[in-house]
C-alpha cells in the first residue's frame, strides 16, 4: 500500500517526517513524498536547517484515491504553509471524502482545520493549537496519541516528537486495518 506524506517545500520537522517514514517502510508499505512544488523539500531540526528530501509528486497531480492513508508531519512552518495552499487543503480533504485514515502530529492539525474536517472529532496536538482546534469544533485532549473514529475515517493525532514511538506504532496499526477496504 502506498502512503502519502504531505509536506511544504520547507519547514517540516525532520524527525516527524523520518520516523513515520521508516515506520511505513518497516510495515511493508511504500511512503510517497507529496509537496506543493517538485524537486526537494528542506527539513528542519527546530529552527535550524537539516536534510533535504526528494519530492515524489505534487498535490496538484495527486489524488487521495491513489493512497491507503495520509501522514501529516509537523513543524511550525510546514502546516502553516500547507494551510494557505488550496491544492494541499483539497488533497487533505480528499482523504476524509474517501474515508481513508489520516495521521497528524504536532502543528499538523492546522492543515486539518483549514480543510474543515475536525468538527465533532477529538484530537491532540502541540498545546498551542488547543484553542484553534476548539474554535474549529473539535475536542482537544492532552494525550500522547489519540485515535478518533467519530467521522468518515480514522484520525490519529499526536502532540510532539517525544510521542513519535506511540504515534508511529498506532498509525501503522490503524492504517493496516484499512488495507482490505
Look up the CATH number of the domain holding residue 115: 3.40.50.880
Catalytic status, residue 168: no
3-state helix, strand, coil in the chain (%, to 5): 35, 30, 35
Residue 180 has pLDDT above 50, yes or no: no
User: Mean pLDDT score of the chain, rounded to an integer?
Assistant: 96
Stated pTM of the model = 0.97
Rounded to the nearest 5°, which phi and psi values hold at 166? -65, -40
| CB neighbours of residue 48 within 10 Å | 7
At 71-87, the pLDDT tens digits run 999 999 999 999 999 99
Domains in the chain: how many in total?
1
One of 32, 46, 107, 148 is an active-site residue; which one?
107
One of 32, 40, 45, 106 is an active-site residue; which one?
106
Q: Which pLDDT score, from 0 to 100, does residue 178 have?
A: 75
Domain membership of residue 152 as a residue range: 2-177
Q: Where residue 179 falls among pLDDT bands split at 50, 70, 90? A: low
Residues in the chain: 181
Amino acid at each position: 500500500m502506498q502512503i502519502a506524506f504531505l509536506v511544504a517545500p520547507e519547514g517540516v520537522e525532520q524527525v516527524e517526517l523520518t520516523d513515520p517514514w521508516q515506520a511505513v517502510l518497516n510495515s511493508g508499505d511504500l511512503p510517497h513524498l507529496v509537496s506543493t512544488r517538485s524537486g526537494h523539500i528542506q527539513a528542519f531540526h527546530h529552527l535550524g536547517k537539516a536534510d533535504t528530501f526528494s519530492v515524489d509528486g505534487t498535490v496538484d497531480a495527486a489524488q487521495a484515491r491513489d493512497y491507503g492513508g495520509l501522514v501529516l508531519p509537523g513543524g511550525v512552518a510546514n502546516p502553516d504553509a500547507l494551510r494557505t495552499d488550496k491544492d494541499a487543503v483539497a488533497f487533505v480533504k480528499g482523504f476524509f471524502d474517501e474515508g481513508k485514515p489520516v495521521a497528524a502530529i504536532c502543528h499538523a492539525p492546522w492543515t486539518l482545520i483549514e480543510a474543515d474536517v475536525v468538527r465533532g472529532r477529538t484530537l491532540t496536538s502541540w498545546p498551542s493549537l488547543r484553542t484553534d482546534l476548539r474554535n474549529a469544533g473539535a475536542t482537544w485532549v492532552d494525550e500522547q496519541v489519540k485515535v478518533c473514529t467519530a467521522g468518515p475515517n480514522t484520525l490519529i493525532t499526536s502532540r510532539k516528537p517525544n510521542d513519535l514511538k506511540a504515534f508511529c506504532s498506532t498509525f501503522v496499526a490503524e492504517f493496516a486495518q484499512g488495507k482490505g477496504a
